[in-house]
C-alpha cells in the first residue's frame, strides 16, 4: 500500500514519529541517543526547524516540529544515515530496525480551534485575528468557507492573516500566547 501524500508547506507543524521495525530499539547505545539529540539541535541551526516538543523512547520517538521553510524530509534524514553507516547497513533505510518516518498531518475542526483560542485569549479583537489565522493554517478549509464563517471575502481572510503574522513576529507576548494555543491544538 502506498504511503499517503505528505503535505509540506512553509510554517507547517508536524507530529513526527518513528518506530523501530519489529519494535526493535532505534538507539543501540547512549552515544546513538546523544547523536540523535545532536541532530535535533542541528535541525534548527541548519534548516530553521523549530522543535516544540520531543519524547524519546527506546524503540520510537515523537517530535512536534515546525518547518518555516517547508523542508521536513531534509531535516529528518541525517540520523538514519548515521545509524546505517555505524551499523554497516545498506539498502532500504529501515534495514537496521529504523523505519521510514511517518508524518501525522492534523486537520483540525473550525470549532475545536475556536474553543481553544477563546479559552486562552480574552481580548475580543485579538481573538478574531488569532482564530482566523489558526483556522486558515490548520483546518484545511478553503478560504471561501473561512470567509463565510467570519463574514469576510477570501481576500479579507488573507489580509487579516498577513497582518496578524506581522503583529505576531513583533510582539513576544502575543507569540507566547499563540504558541501555547498551537501546542494545545496538538495536546
pLDDT in tens, 102-130: 433 444 566 667 777 777 777 777 888 88
Q: Give pLDDT, residue 125.
A: 78
In this prediction, residues 6-30 reach a mean pLDDT of 78
Most confident listed range (1-5, 90-94, 112-116): 112-116
- pLDDT for the residue numbered 85: 67
Domains in the chain with CATH codes: 12-104 (3.30.70.1290), 110-185 (1.10.1750)
Give which of 108, 104, 85, 105 is closest to 95, Cα–Cα: 85
**What is d(CA 74, CA 80) in angstroms, rounded to the nearest whole number?**
11
- Matching residue, cell 478574531: 128
Question: What pLDDT score was predicted for residue 153?
Answer: 93
Grade residue 80 by pLDDT with cuts at 50, 70 and 90: low
Amino acid at each position: 500500500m502506498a504511503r499517503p501524500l505528505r503535505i509540506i508547506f512553509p510554517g507547517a507543524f508536524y507530529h513526527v514519529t518513528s518506530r523501530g521495525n519489529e519494535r526493535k530499539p532505534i538507539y543501540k547505545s547512549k552515544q546513538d541517543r546523544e547523536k540523535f539529540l545532536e541532530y535535533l539541535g542541528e535541525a534548527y541551526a541548519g534548516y530553521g526547524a523549530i522543535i516544540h516538543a520531543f519524547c524519546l523512547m527506546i524503540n520510537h520517538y515523537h517530535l512536534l516540529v515546525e518547518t518555516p521553510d517547508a523542508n521536513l524530509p531534509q531535516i529528518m534524514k541525517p540520523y538514519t544515515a548515521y545509524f546505517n553507516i555505524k551499523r554497516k547497513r545498506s539498502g532500504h533505510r529501515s534495514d537496521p530496525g529504523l523505519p521510514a518516518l511517518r508524518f501525522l498531518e492534523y486537520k483540525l475542526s473550525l470549532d475545536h480551534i475556536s474553543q481553544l483560542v477563546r479559552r486562552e485569549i480574552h481580548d475580543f479583537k485579538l481573538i478574531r485575528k488569532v482564530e482566523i489565522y489558526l483556522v486558515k493554517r490548520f483546518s484545511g478549509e478553503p478560504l471561501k468557507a473561512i470567509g463565510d464563517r467570519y463574514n469576510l471575502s477570501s481576500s479579507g481572510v488573507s489580509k487579516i492573516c498577513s497582518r496578524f503574522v506581522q503583529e505576531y513576529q513583533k510582539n513576544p507576548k502575543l507569540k507566547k500566547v499563540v504558541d501555547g494555543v498551537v501546542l494545545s491544538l496538538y495536546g
